Amino acid sequence: DVKVTQSSRYLVKRTGEKVFLECVQDMDHENMFWYRQDPGLGLRLIYFSYDVKMKEKGDIPEGYSVSREKKERFSLILESASTNQTSMYLCASMTPYGLEDTDTQYFGPGTRLTVL
């Protein structure tokens, strides 16, 4: 059974703080993703990684960075948190898409981040 875990379910930070959101998957998946989800806007891709130390920007990378030092772990970093980064953050993992029967993303439970 695939498991994707996120370090916190709820997090409260202050404006200007550096914030780390951690994601770990146990399925040896190459691809990992970070999304944010806001009411009325659906899921928006921030960054994704297709291999260790590899990353690509998604649709809304501004204000974020990522780190993938090990295959099972993908971290999202808010260098200086701002109130407009208050959101639900979802991590997902997947085997490389385009292969038969493997275009399935497995999601973590999400981290609800509030920036005051």
Partner 1 sequence: LAKTTQPISMDSYEGQEVNITCSHNNIATNDYITWYQQFPSQGPRFIIQGYKTKVTNEVASLFIPADRKSSTLSLPRVSLSDTAVYYCLVVLSMDTGRRALTFGSGTRLQVQP
The rounded distance, in Å, linking the Cα atoms of 83 and 16 is 9
32 binds partner 1 (CB under 8 A): no
User: Restricting to residues 62-101, which ones interact with partner 1 according to CB under 8 A?
Assistant: 90, 92, 97-98, 101
Q: How far is the CB of 27 from partner 1 (least distance, A)?
A: 13
* 38 versus 79: smaller Cβ distance to partner 1: 38
The rounded distance, in Å, linking the Cα atoms of 49 and 46 is 11
The rounded distance, in Å, linking the Cα atoms of 24 and 80 is 23
From residue 8, alpha-carbon distances to 59, 62, 75, 95 in Å are: 24, 22, 12, 24
Q: How far is the CB of 113 from partner 1 (least distance, A)?
A: 13
* 17 versus 107: smaller Cβ distance to partner 1: 107
Q: Contact positions toward partner 1, by CB under 8 A?
A: 4, 33, 35, 41-43, 45, 48, 90, 92, 97-98, 101, 103-110, 112
